[in-house]
A = this chain, B = another copy of it.
Amino acid sequence: MMTRFSVTYWVGANDEAEARQRALDIALEQTVEIPRDAVPAGYVEDEILGKLERLEPASDGRGGFFADISYSEDDVGGDFLQLLNIIFGNSSIKTNIRVEDITLSPGILSLCAGPRFGMPGLRELCGVDKGPLLMSAIKPVGLSSKELGKLAHDFALGGMDFVKDDHGLADQHTSPFAERLKACVDGVNEANAKTGGKATYVPNITAPAMKLFERAWMAKEQGAGGVMIAPALAGYDVIHSLAADPDFGLPIVSHPTFAGPNMITPTTGFSHRFYFGLLQRLMGVDAVVYPNFGGRFGFTLAECQSIVRGCQAEFGGYKPIVPAPGGGMSLARVPEMRDAYGDRVMYLIGGALIRERDNLADASRRLVDAVRAED
């Protein structure tokens, strides 16, 4: 039974000797964090200290090296945050190091139960067995719960599979959480009754630390079909804990707000594939929102396609999850997005439809038809 897992880092360096030294520094920094000559012999040195398992020039033409470092499951101690701490704790503060990949071990697989629904579960939930899925967002902050509930109703009436809160909707006095939850669940149910559809409302439960779980359970009790959480704000164990709870059992959507610095430079943080793919599956996310190429954010087509691979390629036996590209999506971009993504994603469209709020159901229907007609 393998009791070590390993992380692949990209390490910037002028030559192999420098890369080796930097990789050995990572192995030390991420585990014992004391000078090499002070590491106690025996268990600490043999088991806990990170081990450099492989060092090779980066094969993808960007220069630098790939270093595989293995770590002990004992160091994780059954704590998901400590797993992240080992993967990229203090070393996250260094430049010219980037987390690229992870190879799992039985203990990590047991700690991370993974997505409960993933792509197959979400398809079943909304009764769409092929073609892309569609999600829209109710907004802006400042509208009343009644107005937001009407938007949710109209999106559902127009054929959206999922209707989520904007990530800025919290508990503002214009639309307190409990009131909005009821208005939107009612709105979506009413639309479903008219269409015979299965649209799902997904409230944002990112909240103060002692209220988040309360809102998660309130969402479930009141009939929401999923919840959305921003892990970079709320912490990385919240989704992990909710996904692992069989009594909770709702799909979880992950939002990227506040997470930007983790992946936007090519030589620091995480690769797009790791952050929006592998990490989300380890957390137990079912669908992950990320900025689409060609929109307001700077992600390239290649980066976005790497995210899809991170979400769906074989990884520890976890279910494939649903990448949800958003940010500047419109009817006009449907052909381009179909070319890039095929049926593997959930189109997230918010702002462009809100512009047509007086005919929202019709505008939504046109978009849904355009997306599905390409099949």
Interface residues of A (CB under 8 A from B): 25, 29, 31-35, 37-40, 43-44, 47-48, 74-82, 84-86, 88-95, 139-143, 166-168, 170-174, 206-210, 212-213, 230, 233-238, 240-241, 256-265, 268-270, 291, 296-298, 327, 350-352, 354-355, 357
Contacts and interface: CB of A to CB of B under 8 A. Distances in A.
Contacts of A25: 296
Contact of A95 (B234, B262, B298, B352): B298
11 contacts: A33-B140, A39-B140, A44-B143, A47-B142, A75-B141, A75-B142, A75-B172, A82-B168, A88-B258, A92-B258, A93-B256
A355 B241 contact: no
A176 to B, nearest CB: 8
Contact of A350 (B31, B33, B88, B143): B33
Given A167-B89, A233-B81, A48 B141 contact: yes
Contact of A233 (B84, B207, B233): B84
Contact of A94 (B235, B260, B354): B260
Number of copies: 2
Q: What 3 pairs between A and B have smallest CB-CB spacing?
A: A235-B235, A92-B260, A93-B260
A92 B350 CA distance: 19
B90 A256 contact: yes
Contacts of A262: 261
A238 B241 contact: no
